[in-house]
């Protein structure tokens, strides 16, 4: 995948915008994939500006190029003139002064650039630092077959350093421009770079993949050095035989290894074929795409609406022509209530298949035979194979027509054969095979128009029927049999819109985006009360804003485009600058969080303001402030993230350049520091400075670095006897303040309006510049003409550069349903207030009622129950993993349970675990339903352990999980069962078995003494963020008791410890 830089990811081919080998896909929304090569966009013509971004407006005037009649008199080199013409060619004359377009540029380029073997268009390094892309100077310029890749520079390879002393040119098509692993290709010993390999330089990757090194946890690197023997790459041994090709040529999947690498921890949730293949498949491959195991243990399951749709989804065609065999071969399918209907549907659909009047379609499949002298002689070589031969890995039909879902395009690439065509050693796409101009000896079988001698039946879609050589004009793959044997409908993909180039692409994309789990209510359906989510108040509609044209949306790299006087301007985020936000700012990323341990305990009602400065010696360079609100911190721990920028004044840039090359200065001197000055905002509008945290910056010579810290108030801050200012004397214009983190350090902080080294100077403008209750903080800036800057620190409820603005968002009481409004002091205005909601409601303004779970238990004989644990789960649809949303442990057996869930729907699965006198838990399902509310009287379905259900005669070499569907089929009264990894639910015939990954120890902990049993509760609270809280319950042996132990008659619960 290729990152668009803003969170969007697109396939790697999208970055290769110049390629025309595979159909074009959608660009990045911000068009980043087109940077520096906008002219070759497959979707819309544009022009590359000097910044590398795309100019979307037609007749764009690039000031780098004069009009064509003045081109010879310009200062441009011949290379630049040729590049300009090629850009005009690809953009179809997009730029205002282009002398030609896509139709007539070739001749001008050929004349103008006759002395150039090739013309470069994109700057070197656009795709890869060792490659540049060029086009051959010929009349066929623009053809992808004529595009070239130039290799330059040097690159580190495994065991050697590759130095290309001369420019190496290769065909882009043969080089494999769609490969994201281009560096591996360059380092491959299969290509002829041996003369450029230097084995003596130290600039190389370890030849043995660092196998003698250890990871951070003291384990050896799990790398098998000889896996990628052709590209000399290093991959983890856990990627061997996992179903995905990681080596350049897929050796990790195609090579037979003696050992299996499907071991813990990787093998815990992998599927193993348990044969000589040593497969270790990820769950994503068990989705019906194809069978990866030769023993078919990963037998595919497909959607019912894919059956009899005209396209093979099973490798053996058991969903289409071979469905008549499915009842005997796969007992599972016989349980579908509509199987007979589906079989009859397929019989009708395939009653007029090609050669159906020759073959018996009840057990035969019609196709031209393979490995015969003349497949077209159907009298001698009867065109029929047994249905059981489909998908068996043996090519029985010509061009592997019977193995199109089982064979791969080529070794190591997970791509079905589909409608590819093999001619000798070449493989061609379906779309190109039967074209008039692509006639070859091997195409005569499948392309009857290539057999035509007269020229009357040679058009692309003409068919020369086998009987009497009759011509059926334009009859190929039109859905209507025109020839006696219906051979005009032979070898026809069902999705002609894609021409068979990407076989089953629609369904494969659907599998990637769809979920693997159906949220059908399972238990108890009749008692589930459905309450539609409702809005309890009308929310004012968002104001309508005038939209900026879409063409401008990607002009600013990461910024926002605004239109001023019909001119596009960019508002850049702090990490970028420049006309188009094209340059990175030198910066420090700050991530700070105020530790609430002392703060909330001793100052629970006190709001704080933290003013953060970046200092160069004693001079502030940049600053940022944030507020800490107690009520918000108690419900959500806030990490404040922002940038502090280094100065770009010439003097500061020169200092940074000199410092970068002066190692001694970097080691011994640290001119930059970050100060976090904290102020208490009193309710009487007063501001009280409390102290500061100081941090030196050790990596200021880097363009970007990070400071992540937790701002902790020390314990001595509460104890006046440990005050570090007792021995510090400051003058009357300043106040001594402690430096937190260092018990013996302090500083003299200037009072409002004063500045200077000893606070000896006063700025008279402070009397009126800031609001009355604000704190005025002047300082001298050496780089400004007047030298003096003034900052204001605002009191509670005020904001703005001079603190004359007030927060008034809570005056109208926007929080509904008894919610309480609090100002966030968000200077951006994006989240000006926050609502703390009552228990039953959530949402930005407490407008949504929480999903409710209310369960009454009707269990009898509960005297032996020591502890019961209620667990509510949601299902991760892609992996079928259970994620706990609420968990609570109770003494004995509770009679009822209630919970309000902060979401529109209640957690899907309710589980009850009962611990009686024995150590093991009993599992019961309270409900399994996707509803907005669950209100039931639970009879709770008991779930036995799978060991009590499996027969002892099961083969030990086969995983027990492969027999789980038989358990449900053979026990009609059984609803659920579990093992150490899965919780399984038997269900209706449509969904006979669902097994969910779950953690059996999620409710256990180790905080109890005297060998007491510890049970853990978990609850997720959402209030502008997610916070986990836990409770603990201890069940003890007789005669033990205490806060961290629990006797049979006394339970202790420690609540609300946030994780």
pLDDT digits (tens, 9 = 90+) for 643-668: 999 988 888 888 888 888 888 888 88
Q: What does the pLDDT read at residue 464?
A: 93
Separation CA 299–CA 290 (nearest Å): 8
Q: What does the pLDDT read at residue 234?
A: 80
Separation CA 567–CA 319 (nearest Å): 59
Name beta bridge partners: 357.
Answer: none
Neighbours of 318 (CB within 10 A): 24
Residue 671 has pLDDT above 90, yes or no: yes
Asked which of 231-235, 346-350, 512-516, 709-713 is least confident by mean pLDDT, the reply is 512-516
Q: What does the pLDDT read at residue 708?
A: 94
Right CATH for 586-713 from 1.10.287, 2.40.50, 2.60.40, 1.20.950: 2.60.40
Banded pLDDT at 414 (limits 50, 70, 90) = very low
Instruction: Give residue 956's Cα distance to chain centre.
Output: 39
Separation CA 913–CA 661 (nearest Å): 65
Read off the pLDDT of residues 127-158 as tens digits, 9 standing for 90 and up.
777 777 777 765 455 454 456 777 778 888 88
Q: What does the pLDDT read at residue 484?
A: 92
CB 968 within 8 A of CB 992: yes
Asked which of 290-304, 575-589, 786-800 is least confident by mean pLDDT, the reply is 290-304
Asked which of 162-176, 691-705, 1009-1023 is least confident by mean pLDDT, the reply is 162-176
Q: What does the pLDDT read at residue 400?
A: 92
Encoded tokens for 426: 């070449």
* Average pLDDT of the residues in 555-564: 80
Q: What does the pLDDT read at residue 375?
A: 93
Encoded tokens for 1007: 């905080």
Residue located via tokens 């449900």? 968
Helix axis angle, 105-112 to 78-90, nearest 10°: 170
Separation CA 975–CA 82 (nearest Å): 74
Banded pLDDT at 762 (limits 50, 70, 90) = very high
Q: What does the pLDDT read at residue 471?
A: 92
* Average pLDDT of the residues in 312-317: 85
CB 87 within 8 A of CB 47: yes
Separation CA 922–CA 1000 (nearest Å): 11
Between the alpha carbon of residue 1046 and those of residues 26, 922, 923, the distances in Å are 62, 21, 23
* Average pLDDT of the residues in 146-174: 74
Residue 384 has pLDDT above 60, yes or no: yes
Residue 81 has pLDDT above 70, yes or no: yes
pTM above threshold 0.75: no
Beta strands in 742-828 (DSSP E): 746-750, 754-755, 761-762, 775-780, 788-793, 798-799, 805-806, 820-823
Residue 291 has pLDDT above 80, yes or no: no
Asked which of 77-81, 782-786, 886-890 is least confident by mean pLDDT, the reply is 782-786
Banded pLDDT at 769 (limits 50, 70, 90) = very high
Percent of the chain with pLDDT over 90: 19
Residue 1041 φ/ψ, nearest 5 degrees: -155, 170
Q: What does the pLDDT read at residue 27?
A: 87
Q: What does the pLDDT read at residue 525?
A: 52
Q: What does the pLDDT read at residue 1046?
A: 38
Separation CA 449–CA 932 (nearest Å): 62
Read off the pLDDT of residues 973-1031 as tens digits, 9 standing for 90 and up.
888 999 988 999 986 554 568 889 889 888 888 878 877 888 888 876 544 444 566 67
CB 46 within 8 A of CB 36: no
Banded pLDDT at 545 (limits 50, 70, 90) = low
Looking at per-residue pLDDT, the higher value among 370 and 206 belongs to 370
* Average pLDDT of the residues in 573-591: 89
Separation CA 54–CA 640 (nearest Å): 35
Separation CA 271–CA 527 (nearest Å): 38
Residue 171 has pLDDT above 70, yes or no: no
CB 538 within 8 A of CB 545: no
Separation CA 294–CA 370 (nearest Å): 23
Banded pLDDT at 551 (limits 50, 70, 90) = low
* Average pLDDT of the residues in 353-361: 91
Mean pLDDT score of the chain, rounded to an integer?
79
Q: What does the pLDDT read at residue 92?
A: 86
* Average pLDDT of the residues in 75-83: 87
Q: What does the pLDDT read at residue 614?
A: 94
Separation CA 18–CA 922 (nearest Å): 62
CB 887 within 8 A of CB 1003: yes
Separation CA 934–CA 911 (nearest Å): 13
* Average pLDDT of the residues in 61-66: 90
Separation CA 540–CA 537 (nearest Å): 9
Measured torsion, CA atoms of residues 394, 396, 400, 403, in degrees rounded to the nearest 10? -50
* Average pLDDT of the residues in 707-736: 80
Percent of the chain with pLDDT over 70: 80
Q: What does the pLDDT read at residue 499?
A: 39
CB 588 within 8 A of CB 703: no
Residue 1042 has pLDDT above 60, yes or no: no
Q: What does the pLDDT read at residue 404?
A: 87
* Average pLDDT of the residues in 757-778: 91
Task: Rank 18-32, 614-628, 952-966 by mean pLDDT and report only the highest.
Answer: 614-628
524 preceded by a cis bond (ω within 30 of 0): yes
Looking at per-residue pLDDT, the higher value among 332 and 807 belongs to 807
3-state secondary structure of 663: helix
Q: What does the pLDDT read at residue 28?
A: 86
Asked which of 63-72, 123-132, 286-295, 694-703 is least confident by mean pLDDT, the reply is 286-295
CB 758 within 8 A of CB 782: no
* Average pLDDT of the residues in 799-806: 89
Asked which of 249-258, 584-593, 602-611, 1034-1043 is least confident by mean pLDDT, the reply is 1034-1043
Q: What does the pLDDT read at residue 201?
A: 86
Looking at per-residue pLDDT, the higher value among 52 and 825 belongs to 52
Asked which of 47-61, 673-687, 897-911, 984-998 is least confident by mean pLDDT, the reply is 984-998
Read off the pLDDT of residues 85-132 as tens digits, 9 standing for 90 and up.
888 888 888 988 898 877 778 788 878 887 777 777 777 778 777 777
Non-local (6+) Cβ contacts of 679 within 8 A are 608, 609, 610, 611, 687, 688, 689, 690, 775, 793
3-state secondary structure of 59: coil
Non-local (6+) Cβ contacts of 501 within 8 A are 22, 23, 429, 430, 431
Please classify residue 358 by burial: count the beta carbons closer than 10 Å to its beta carbon, then call 0-12 exposed, 13-18 middle and 19+ buried: middle
Separation CA 59–CA 356 (nearest Å): 60
Read off the pLDDT of residues 902-954 as tens digits, 9 standing for 90 and up.
888 899 999 999 998 766 889 999 988 888 888 888 777 899 999 888 876 55
Between the alpha carbon of residue 552 and those of residues 4, 87, 877, the distances in Å are 17, 21, 38
Of 798, 791, 793, nearest to 825 by C-alpha is 798
Separation CA 279–CA 270 (nearest Å): 9
Domain ranges (residues) in the chain: 126-205, 330-513, 586-713, 850-1002, 1006-1059
């Amino acid at each position: 995948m290729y990152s668009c830089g803003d969170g969007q990811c697109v396939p790697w081919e999208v970055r290769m915008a110049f390629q025309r080998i595979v159909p074009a896909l959608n660009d990045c929304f911000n068009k980043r994939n087109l940077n520096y090569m906008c002219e070759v966009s497959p979707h819309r013509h544009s022009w590359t500006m000097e910044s590398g971004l795309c100019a979307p407006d037609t007749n764009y005037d690039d000031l780098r190029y004069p009009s064509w009649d003045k081109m010879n008199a310009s200062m441009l080199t011949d290379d630049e003139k040729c590049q300009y013409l090629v850009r005009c060619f690809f953009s179809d004359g997009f730029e205002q002064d282009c002398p030609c377009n896509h139709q007539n540029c070739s001749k001008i380029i050929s004349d103008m650039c006759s002395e150039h073997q090739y013309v470069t268009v994109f700057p070197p390094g656009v795709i890869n630092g060792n490659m540049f892309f060029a086009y051959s100077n010929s009349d066929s310029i623009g053809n992808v077959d004529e595009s070239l890749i130039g290799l330059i520079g040097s690159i580190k390879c495994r065991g050697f350093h590759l130095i290309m002393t001369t420019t190496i040119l290769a065909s882009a098509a043969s080089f494999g421009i769609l490969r994201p692993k281009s560096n591996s290709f360059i380092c491959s010993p299969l290509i002829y770079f041996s003369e450029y390999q230097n084995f003596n330089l130290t600039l190389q990757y370890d030849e043995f993949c660092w196998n003698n090194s250890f990871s951070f946890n003291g384990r050896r690197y799990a790398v098998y050095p000889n896996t990628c023997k052709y590209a000399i790459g290093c991959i983890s041994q856990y990627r061997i035989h996992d179903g995905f090709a990681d080596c350049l040529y897929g050796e990790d999947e195609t090579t037979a290894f003696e050992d299996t690498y499907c071991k813990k921890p990787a093998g815990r949730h992998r599927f193993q074929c348990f044969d000589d293949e040593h497969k270790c498949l990820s769950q994503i491959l068990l989705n019906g795409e194809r069978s990866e195991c030769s023993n078919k243990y990963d037998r595919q399951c497909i959607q019912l609406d894919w059956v009899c749709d005209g396209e093979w989804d099973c490798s053996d065609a058991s969903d289409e022509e071979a469905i008549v065999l499915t009842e005997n071969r796969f007992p599972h399918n016989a349980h579908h209530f509509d199987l007979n209907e589906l079989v009859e549907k397929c019989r009708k659909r395939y009653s007029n298949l090609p050669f159906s009047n020759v073959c018996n379609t009840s057990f035969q499949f019609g196709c031209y035979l393979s490995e015969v002298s003349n497949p077209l002689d159907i009298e001698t070589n009867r065109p029929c194979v047994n249905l059981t031969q489909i998908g068996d890995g043996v090519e029985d039909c010509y061009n592997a027509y019977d193995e199109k879902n089982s064979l791969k395009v080529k070794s190591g690439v997970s791509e079905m054969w589909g409608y590819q065509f093999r001619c000798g050693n070449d493989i061609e796409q379906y779309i190109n095979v039967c074209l008039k101009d692509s006639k070859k000896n091997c195409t005569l079988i499948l392309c009857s128009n290539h057999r035509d001698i007269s020229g009357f039946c040679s058009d692309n879609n003409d068919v020369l029927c086998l009987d009497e050589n009759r011509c059926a004009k334009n009859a190929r793959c039109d859905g209507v049999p025109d020839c006696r044997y219906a051979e005009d409908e032979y070898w026809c993909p069902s999705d002609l819109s894609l021409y068979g180039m990407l076989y089953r692409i629609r369904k494969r994309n659907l599998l990637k985006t769809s979920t693997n789990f159906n949220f059908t209510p399972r238990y108890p359906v009749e008692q589930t009360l459905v309450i539609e989510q409702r809005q309890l108040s009308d929310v004012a509609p968002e104001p309508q804003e005038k939209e900026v044209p879409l063409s401008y949306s990607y002009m600013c790299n990461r910024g926002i485009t605004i239109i001023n006087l019909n001119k596009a301007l960019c508002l850049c985020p702090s990490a970028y600058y420049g006309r188009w936000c094209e340059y990175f700012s030198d910066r420090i990323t700050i991530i700070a969080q105020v530790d609430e341990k002392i703060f909330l305990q001793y100052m629970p009602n006190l709001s704080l303001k933290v003013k953060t400065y970046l200092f160069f010696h004693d001079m502030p360079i940049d600053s940022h402030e944030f507020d800490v609100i107690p009520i918000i911190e108690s419900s959500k721990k806030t990490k404040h993230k922002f940038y502090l920028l280094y100065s770009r004044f010439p003097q500061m840039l020169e200092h940074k350049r000199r410092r970068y090359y002066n190692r001694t200065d970097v080691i011994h001197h640290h001119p930059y520091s970050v100060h976090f000055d904290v102020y208490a905002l009193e309710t009487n509008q007063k501001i009280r400075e409390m102290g500061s945290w100081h941090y030196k910056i050790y990596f200021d010579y880097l363009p970007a670095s990070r400071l992540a810290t937790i701002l902790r108030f020390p314990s001595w801050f509460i104890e006046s006897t440990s005050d570090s200012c007792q021995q510090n004397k400051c003058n009357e214009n300043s106040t001594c303040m402690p430096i937190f983190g260092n018990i013996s350090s302090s500083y003299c902080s200037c009072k409002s309006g004063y500045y200077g080294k000893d606070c000896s100077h006063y700025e008279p403008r402070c009397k009126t510049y800031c609001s009355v209750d604000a704190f005025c903080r002047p300082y001298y800036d050496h780089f400004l003409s007047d030298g003096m800057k003034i900052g204001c620190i605002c009191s509670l409820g005020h904001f703005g550069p001079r603190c004359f603005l007030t927060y008034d968002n809570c005056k109208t009481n926007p929080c509904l349903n008894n919610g309480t409004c609090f100002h966030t002091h968000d200077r951006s205005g994006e989240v000006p207030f926050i609502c703390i909601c009552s228990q039953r409601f959530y949402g930005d303004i407490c407008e949504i009622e929480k999903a409710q779970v209310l369960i009454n238990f009707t269990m009898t004989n509960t005297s032996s129950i020591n502890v019961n644990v209620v667990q509510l789960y949601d299902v991760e649809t892609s992996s079928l993993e259970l994620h706990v949303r609420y968990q609570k442990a109770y003494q004995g057996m509770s009679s009822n349970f209630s919970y309000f869930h902060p979401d529109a729907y209640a957690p899907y699965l309710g589980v009850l675990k009962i611990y009686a006198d024995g150590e093991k838990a009993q599992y019961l399902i309270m409900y399994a339903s996707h509803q907005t509310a669950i209100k039931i009287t639970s009879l709770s379905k008991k779930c036995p352990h799978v060991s009590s259900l499996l027969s002892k005669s099961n083969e030990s070499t086969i995983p027990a999980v492969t027999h789980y569907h038989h358990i449900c089929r053979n026990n009609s009264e059984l609803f659920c069962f579990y093992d150490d990894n899965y919780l399984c639910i038997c269900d209706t015939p449509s969904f006979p078995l669902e097994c969910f990954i779950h953690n059996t120890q999620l409710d256990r902990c180790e905080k109890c003494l005297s060998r007491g049993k510890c049970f853990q509760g978990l609850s997720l609270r959402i209030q502008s963020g997610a916070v986990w809280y836990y409770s603990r319950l201890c069940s003890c042996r007789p005669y033990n008791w205490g806060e961290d132990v629990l006797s049979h008659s006394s339970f202790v619960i420690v609540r609300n410890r946030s994780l």
